Amino acid sequence: MSVWKFAIVAAGTALVLAGCGNSGADNGGSGQSCTPKGGGSGTAAQVVKVVNNPSGTGKYDPQTVSVKTGDTVEWDFQDSAFSHSVTSDDNTTFDSCLQTAGAKFQVTFSTAGSFPYHCTIHADMTGTVKVG
């Protein structure tokens, strides 16, 4: 009987660990590795906090920011409960990949326009950077 208990505990532990994975290299649980793109550097004109919310999935605070052409926006990952990403809706302009609390991601916007983005694993997490 104790062999079965050990096997069940071992299998459960393996499943939990497999579900955790390396959040820095995972792209929304798809199993494909993710390389951050569109990152920038410099002093941020705006900082967006990536935080937990009452629904438990997370949110961008503020959800919409406005900057001038050439400005940098920084996302400050503060949610210790979940990993999140900052991924442009076109999936090519920028992508932080999944990050955990303590990470920071910057993008410098060199062209005017509206840049909607989302979290790859939380569909209700959306935001917009307006550049003009």
pLDDT tens, position by position, 30-47: 446 899 998 888 899 999
The pair of three-digit structure tokens given for residue 37, joined into one six-digit string = 């793109």
Architecture of domain 23-131: Sandwich (2.60)
Please tell me whether residue 57 adopts helix, strand or coil conformation: coil
Average pLDDT over every residue of 89-107? 96
pLDDT of residue 32: 61
pTM of this structure: 0.76
pLDDT band at 69 (very low <50, low <70, confident <90, very high): very high
pLDDT of residue 94: 97
Examine the pLDDT at 2 and tell me if it is beyond 90: no
Q: What is the mean pLDDT of the chain?
A: 82
The pair of three-digit structure tokens given for residue 13, joined into one six-digit string = 């532990």
Helix-then-strand count for the chain, H and E: 1, 8
pLDDT tens, position by position, 105-115: 999 999 999 99
Examine the pLDDT at 7 and tell me if it is beyond 50: no
3-state DSSP of 85-104: CCEECCCCCCECCCECCCCE
What does the domain layout of the chain look like in residue ranges?
A: 23-131
